[in-house]
Structure formats: structure tokens, C-alpha cells
Structure 1
Amino acid sequence: MRWLNYLFFALLSSIGFEIKIISVQVFNGKNYGPEFDHLLLLTEIDNQLFIIDIGFGDSFQTPLAIQKHPDRNTAYPGYKIVQNGIFYTVQQKRGNQQYRPQYQFTLNIYNISDFAKMCIYRQTSPASHFT
């Protein structure tokens, strides 16, 4: 949920981390949802970009590095980030299955207010599975 990540953003910011808010388009099994579908956190530590997501449910539990060679990633078994142009896709692998997309994002930085319209939609629309 975007509010869990936003609260974590506030916590990390208050203890000195430089955290940015980025937007995620969630993959529904067929295609990607709209912009601002999910809020994701971005930080840089020792010249390495990391994403942080404590609100996506069954997902990675430690910051995930955005690496140039994701197939060489051994620190995060079951997860990788694949870049295609300006888009980055978080992919998850369970057991012997192939990697499957969870969501995509760009490195564009946003404010919490940019998520307001989608938040209202997710809470009030009969088409939303969060209503």
C-alpha cells in the first residue's frame, strides 16, 4: 500500500536518509496498470541506487539494488530488475518458475500529492479491488 511506503519514507527521511518517491505501474498478468498505481521508494547509498518497498505484500524484504547486470545478482535470490529504455521492471521468480514481472517504474521523482487522484480512485471506484 502506498501509505505504508509513505510512512517509511517519513521515517527514513527523519533519520537522515535521502529518499525519493517514484511511481509504479503494477503488472496484472496481461499488462501494466496506470501511473501512480503504487508508491515506491528510491535511495542512493555509496553510488548505488536501491528501491525500497514495504507495502507490496509478497515481495522483496530488503532494499533491491538497481544493477547493470541483474543476471549476476546473487544478493537477492528470486528477484531482479531489468531495464528496457527508461523503464525498469521488477521481476520475481518462485521455485523453478521463470521470472515474471511484478511492476515497472521510471526514475522520475514525484510528490505524495501526485498520488492523490489514484488513491481516491482505488478507495472509491467499483472497478478497484481495494474498494
Structure 2
Amino acid sequence: MEIEKILKRIEIFDKPSKINISLDNLTKLQEAYILNVPYENLDFVFKKEFSVNILKIYEKIVCNYRGGICYESNTLFMYLLKNLGFDVQMIFAKVEDITYIGADYPHLALLVTIDNKQYLVDVANGQNVRVPLCLNEDKIVKSEDIEYKLKKINEEEFALMFNHKYKGWQTRYIFTKEKKSVSDFSGIFENTKNYKQFSNYAPLLVTKALENGRVTLTDDTMTYKKDDHKRVWEISLENRAEVLRDYFNIEI
């Protein structure tokens, strides 16, 4: 696996040796990944088991220009950060909306430490905060016209919050700082009864951030939002491959 190819995949053309350890560069890398690698669960449609093997993730996302779910994209992003010299670890989160992940599956996110400060980093949670959030700062940031912040629940738990237009501040997910590894979730996609049942009814979701918006494909609907303009239209099964190619650069 080549770090240069991972950087090229997210349209960063700096040499790895030129990317020093800083919050600015972490922010740049996170935003670049989110803008270029969609969250997508197409393998449910293909009846293909996901893999958390880093070589297979690299082949899928970097070589085949696909996207991935949280276990794939955050694993690849952690590999990239580690090879660039960042102090990063995997953590688990409990997502409030379990439509696309299922109640039995913890969400995988990352915790990055820079200058003794810890930052929540997540490149695979659909419409979500696009920048690192410091665990010790009560800071509000805006992504896609939605405000986000972190809330400390107790000494062990934190919540990623978003400001709902009508309901006020709501919980996106709750996480702890407990360090996780691939072995903690490698069995999720094995031939288990729960996974088979979930993968059979999980709705299709392919979504990618734009500079000032988002493009999203579900089972039969396409949504394109940019700036103040939003368009929604129906997609037939026959047109799905064309849509994936034209809007997500995914060749099926």
C-alpha cells in the first residue's frame, strides 16, 4: 500500500514528508477525505460481506475508487494518519439513528491527540461534522448549515450534538475514549444471524459531501443540495449505475 496513492485518492498531492503534525493539517486531511470518499453501503446490495482487512479496504477505496462504511473508511483514514506520524486510536460510539448501521453494530470513529489535546475525528458518518472537535473545548462548528458541538456527559462518556432546526440540540452519538482495535469489530461481518438479517433489509445509502452541499442516493431517490438549491428526484433500478458513475464516480 502506498501513502501517496491514498493522498491522491483524496486529492491531496503533497509529499507525505511535507505533511507535518498539526491541527491545520489534520483538518485539511479530514475535509479532503469527506469530500472525495463517499459513505456507501453498496455491498449490502451486492450481497457481499464487508471486510475490515486493511489490504482489502485499500483495494476497494483507493484502487477501485469506491466508498465505504465507518469500519472501512475510518480504518483506512487511521492507517493514513499513523503513517503520517499522527497519534491516533480507534473508539466506539453508539449512534442514535440506527437506520443504516443497526442496533447491534457500534459506530467506529477516531481519537487524535495533538499537543496533549484530544480530537474527535470521523470521516464516515454521512452528513456529519467535517472538522476535528476538541474534547476539552465547548466550541460550536457549522457543517452543511448544521451546528455541532461536543458535550461531556461524565468522566467516561461524551456526546456529539447537533442543533436540529425544530427540536434544538440533539444527540448524534455517544462515545468513550476507550481504545479499540480491528479485533474488536472484525467478527461483525462474519456469517452471523444478526448480520444476515440486517444486511437483507438495510436501505441503500450512498452519500458524499460537496463544498457547499451534499449528494445522496437511497433505494429509489436522488437528492442534490448545493448552497440554497435542493433537487430531489426518483431513480429507477435501471438508472442506478449511471447515477453512481455521474455523481459519485463509482463504476459498477
Runs of 4+ residues deviating >6 angstroms: none
Match of 2:93 among 17, 21, 24: 24
Larger Cα-atom Rg: 2
- Partners of 1:22 and 1:105 within 8 A in 2: yes
| Structure 1 residue 94, shift from structure 2 partner | 3.9
SS in 2 for 1:24: strand
How many residue pairs align between the two structures?
124
Look up the match of 1:53.
Answer: 122
Identify unmatched segments of 5+ residues in structure 1.
none
> Does 2:174 align with 1:104?
yes
Q: Report percent identity of matched pairs.
A: 24
> 1:53, 1:40 → 2: CA distance?
5
Determine if contact 1:51/1:64 at 8 Å carries over to the other structure. yes
Write out per-residue CA displacement over residues 7-26 of structure 1, whole angstroms, 9 at most, x where no aligned residue: 00000101110111111111
Q: Contact 1:80/1:91 (CA < 8 Å) preserved in 2?
A: yes
Instruction: Report the equivalent of 1:13.
Output: 82
User: What residue in structure 1 maps to residue 211 of structure 2?
Assistant: none
Structure 1 residues 64, 122: closer, same or farther in 2, change over 3 A?
A: farther
Question: Helix, strand or coil for the counterpart of 2:168?
Answer: coil
Inter-partner Cα distance in structure 2 for 1:91 and 1:37 = 17
* Deviation at residue 97 of structure 1 after TM alignment: 4.2
Q: Tell me which protein shows more helix as a share of its residues.
A: 2
Equivalent residues in 2 for 1:1-131, closer than 5 Å: 1-28=70-97, 33-34=103-104, 37-68=106-137, 70=138, 73-74=139-140, 76-77=141-142, 78-85=147-154, 86-95=156-165, 97-120=167-190, 124-128=195-199, 129=202
SS at match of 1:117: coil
Q: Distance in 2 between matches of 1:95 and 1:17?
A: 36
Root-mean-square deviation (CA), in Å? 2.6
**What per-residue deviation string (whole Å, max 9, x for no partner) do you get for residues 70-112 of structure 1?**
2xx24x1311111112111101114464111111111100111
Gaps of at least 5 residues in structure 2 are 1-69, 205-252
Instruction: Write the deviation string for residues 19-42 of structure 1: whole angstroms up to 9, x where unpaired.
Output: 11111111138xxx45x5111110
